[in-house]
A and B are shown apart, each in its own frame.
Chain A
């Protein structure tokens, strides 16, 4: 299992467009990817749950990646965040 924190810098927060991209990214891996904000957690392949976290700019979210390709998945998710979030 791998974990990393990311602070959202997109001024609009985790809104529909990046959330959609995030879901597509996460779905490309076999590992289970989850995102946590405070005490709420969402499966990263579920757009509605991810959006419902309402993660805003400046907030820190925690990604957890667990599964056979977790190394690659974790790197891809991290790269995606830095690039688009």
Chain B
């Protein structure tokens, strides 16, 4: 038994056999062909199978991640039948190559040709061509893909250096129990999709070849992977898994009674999402709104920023899935700590205090304008709210609002309909909390991002393990800033929510409610338990606990 430590990015426990997903082999193995006619027939059959596979994948991807993400499979279907691709395969077959060799050579030749082109957008397509060749090779029985090498028996834990969106969306969720990758973070595609699909995931673990076929217990909550777990570890993992499933089933079966304290104080329970498809998981867990849609998902893993149409489709889909319930979209929050290749933020000495979030948007107006236009266009499809991250001054809020107004005026001039949206400030800098009286006069709501607020208030980097003890969301300094914010909001008729990880903390929920916070937004899987916590809460007791936590009484 061996324990590997990583970072959990999608919660839950999974037990299964490791299956390594290796990059397709670059070494060409010569397989003797069975004559051009027979090889051509095999190619046609493989193409038919891949066409069916892509259709199925598209449907599944729409369900799991949304229309915008699923488009990749339509492009792949077009590539599969592209005359340049099929023509090159045919030429290879005519020259006596086996189907596998022909597909591999045609795919490589085209991919290389595209890689040589100057346009970065088009260069990216080389990966799509390789993806399609890989599917064809799998269908030919040549391996190199997920569906190759025999059927696995029982649940599988997928181990890879990195998983592409196409890989992740291709998986059969009835077979895959967990993900383990070396690269990735909570914001990467694999993690977002894993959460949307309810599959535990751990990142930061090397995909060593010797893991293949070994039994793994993946703990997505603790970020731990146990290789060859012994009887005790195994039965513990299994019983935790069963207990979690039973508990969730029981909570869901309860039909989600209102999130009300014993004294009848109503709280809105919302979910944090990173892709439109996750809205489904929010609803399944009884969420009443989306309290944080992290729009950076759209920007990561691509070489140019997403265009207006791509963004519009994603926002629209989230709004439609929520059927009139509020969806708060946070404008792009990228910086040198969360890097996106399409936004060159460079390296910074101190990324948390650097060029990020609203600061980038106010500098790169064109980029911001595209996002604001997409949001406003989507606003007619539901109840949209827009939130600006990293605000530290009143001027920044005014400037962002002005740009929002300009985008709206532009759309109106063009004859495009827009609807009214709530505009909120994410309170995550101590400056914003201290200025909350001024900000409240010019905003419709506040949402406190406790992760950054804690880190900035206590000057404690939350990634630095040596000072982990200094990072305390329940510290009186953090709680005082939060209480000040909620009070200033209430005086100005503005509501306050919490959207950091601590919104789901059963020990902190009473404190937040006692401050007058009326919305809690968290990872969708945490919603059923948070509802229980709210329902069992006694406000009198919570107020007394808050007074102690603030250091007002000993």
Contact = CB atoms under 8 A, between A and B. Distances in A.
Contacts of B74: 20
B71 A13 contact: no
Interface stretch (B81-89, B384-392, B540-548): B81-89
Given A16-B128, A47-B79, A84 B309 contact: yes
A26 to B, nearest CB: 12
B82 A20 contact: no
Given A11-B370, A12-B304, A54-B117, A46 B84 contact: yes
Interface string A7-47: 00011110111001001100000000000000000000111
B332 to A, nearest CB: 16
A51 interface: yes
A6 B110 CA distance: 28
Interface in B68-125: 71, 74-75, 78-79, 82-85, 110, 113-114, 117-119, 121-122, 124-125
A76 interface: no
Interface residues of B, number: 26
B410 interface: no
7 contacts: A10-B309, A11-B370, A17-B310, A24-B78, A47-B75, A47-B79, A52-B117
B307 interface: yes
B184 to A, nearest CB: 24
Given A48-B84, A48-B85, A13 B119 contact: yes
Contacts of A81: none
B78 A23 contact: yes
A51 B307 contact: no
A49 B122 contact: no
Given A46-B83, A84-B309, A54 B119 contact: yes
A40 B307 CA distance: 26
A17 to B, nearest CB: 6
Chain A contact residues, majority secondary structure: helix
Contact of B121 (A15, A24, A46): A15
A56 interface: yes
B310 A47 contact: no
Interface of B: 71, 74-75, 78-79, 82-85, 110, 113-114, 117-119, 121-122, 124-125, 128-129, 304, 307, 309-310, 370
Contact of B75 (A13, A20, A56): A20
Given A45-B83, A84-B309, 19 more contacts: A10-B307, A10-B309, A12-B304, A15-B122, A16-B75, A16-B121, A16-B124, A16-B125, A20-B74, A23-B78, A46-B82, A48-B82, A48-B84, A49-B84, A51-B125, A52-B113, A52-B117, A54-B118, A54-B119
A39 B128 CA distance: 27
Interface in A43-69: 45-49, 51-52, 54, 56
Contacts of B129: 48
A23 B121 CA distance: 18
Nearest to B74: A20
Contacts of A20: 71, 74-75, 78
A14 to B, nearest CB: 9
Contacts of A51: 114, 122, 125
Nearest to B128: A16
A11 B373 CA distance: 14
B505 to A, nearest CB: 41
A17 B125 CA distance: 11
A51 B114 CA distance: 9
A13 B123 CA distance: 13
A31 B84 CA distance: 20
Contact of A52 (B78, B122, B307, B310): B122
Nearest to B309: A84
Contacts of B117: 52, 54
Contacts of A46: 82-84
B114 A52 contact: yes
Contacts of B310: 17
A47 B121 contact: no
A20 B54 CA distance: 15
Minimum-distance CB pairs A-B, first 10: A54-B119, A15-B121, A48-B84, A47-B78, A48-B82, A20-B75, A47-B82, A16-B75, A12-B307, A54-B122
A48 to B, nearest CB: 4
Contacts of A12: 121, 304, 307
A34 to B, nearest CB: 14
Nearest to A51: B122
A17 B71 CA distance: 8
B356 to A, nearest CB: 23
B126 to A, nearest CB: 11
B78 A56 contact: no
